[in-house]
Amino acid sequence: MDQAEHLTLYQQMVVIRRLEEKSAELYQQGKIGGFLHLYIGQEATGVGAVAARSPHDNVITAYRDHGIAVACGMEPKVILAEMLGKVTGCCKGKGGSMHLADKRLNFWGGHAIVGAHIPLATGLALANKFRGEDSVTLCFFGDGATNIGYFHEGLNLAAVWDLPIVFICENNQYGMGTSIERASAVPEMRQKAEAYGMPSARVDGMELLAVHEAAAAAIAHARAGQGPYFLEALTYRYRGHSMGDPERYRKQEEVRRWQSDDPIGKFEAVLLKRGISPDDLNAIEAQAEATIADAVRFAEESPFPPPEELWRDVYAEPEAEPQPA
Closest distance to ligand TPP from the beta carbon of 114 (Å) = 4
Closest distance to ligand TPP from the beta carbon of 143 (Å) = 4
Q: Is 252 exposed, middle or buried (0-12, 13-18, 19+ CB in 10 A)?
A: exposed
Site map (CB under 6 A) of ligand TPP, residues 99-118, x = contact: -------------xxx----
Q: Which is nearer to ligand TPP, 143 or 268 (CB)?
A: 143
Residue type for position 303: P
Q: Which is nearer to ligand TPP, 115 or 164 (CB)?
A: 115
Closest distance to ligand TPP from the beta carbon of 142 (Å) = 2
38 binds ligand TPP (CB under 6 A): no
45 binds ligand TPP (CB under 6 A): no
Binding-site partner at residue 114 among Mg ion, ligand TPP, none, CB < 5 to 8 Å by type = ligand TPP
Number of helices followed by number of strands (H, E) in the chain: 12, 5
- Find the helix packing angle between 3-28 and 278-301, rounded to 10°: 40
Q: Which is nearer to ligand TPP, 245 or 280 (CB)?
A: 245
Closest distance to ligand TPP from the beta carbon of 131 (Å) = 30
Site map (CB under 6 A) of ligand TPP, residues 132-161, x = contact: ---------xxxxx----------------
| 94-98 own/partner pairs: CB under 8 Å, 24+ apart | 94/305, 94/309, 94/310, 94/313, 96/32, 96/33, 96/34, 97/23, 97/32, 97/34, 97/35, 97/36, 97/37, 97/63, 97/65, 97/66, 98/34, 98/35, 98/37, 98/63, 98/65
Closest distance to ligand TPP from the beta carbon of 286 (Å) = 30
Q: Contact positions toward Mg ion, by CB under 5 A? A: 142-144, 172
Site map (CB under 6 A) of ligand TPP, residues 176-215, x = contact: x---------------------------------------
235-254: contacts with ligand TPP (CB under 6 A): 241
Which backbone phi and psi does 116 adopt, to 5 degrees?
-65, -20
Cα 170 off chain centre by: 9
Closest distance to ligand TPP from the beta carbon of 172 (Å) = 5
Cα 243 off chain centre by: 18
Pairing mode, if any, of strands 137-142 and 165-171? parallel
- Could you give the CA distance from residue 273 to residue 278 in angstroms, rounded to a whole number? 11
**CB burial string 260-275: b at 16+ within 10 A, e below:** eebbbebbbeebeeee
272 binds ligand TPP (CB under 6 A): no
Beta bridge partners of 166: 138, 229
Indicate the SS3 state at residue 251.
coil
283 binds ligand TPP (CB under 6 A): no
Q: Which is nearer to ligand TPP, 112 or 295 (CB)?
A: 112
Contact with ligand TPP (CB under 6 A) among 64, 111, 190, 212: 64
Closest distance to Mg ion from the beta carbon of 144 (Å) = 5
175 binds ligand TPP (CB under 6 A): yes
- Find the helix packing angle between 43-50 and 3-28, rounded to 10°: 140
Binding-site partner at residue 126 among ligand TPP, Mg ion, none, CB < 5 to 8 Å by type = none
The count of other CB atoms within 10 Å of the CB of residue 238 is 17
**Interface with ligand TPP (CB under 6 A):** 64, 112-114, 141-145, 172, 174-176, 241
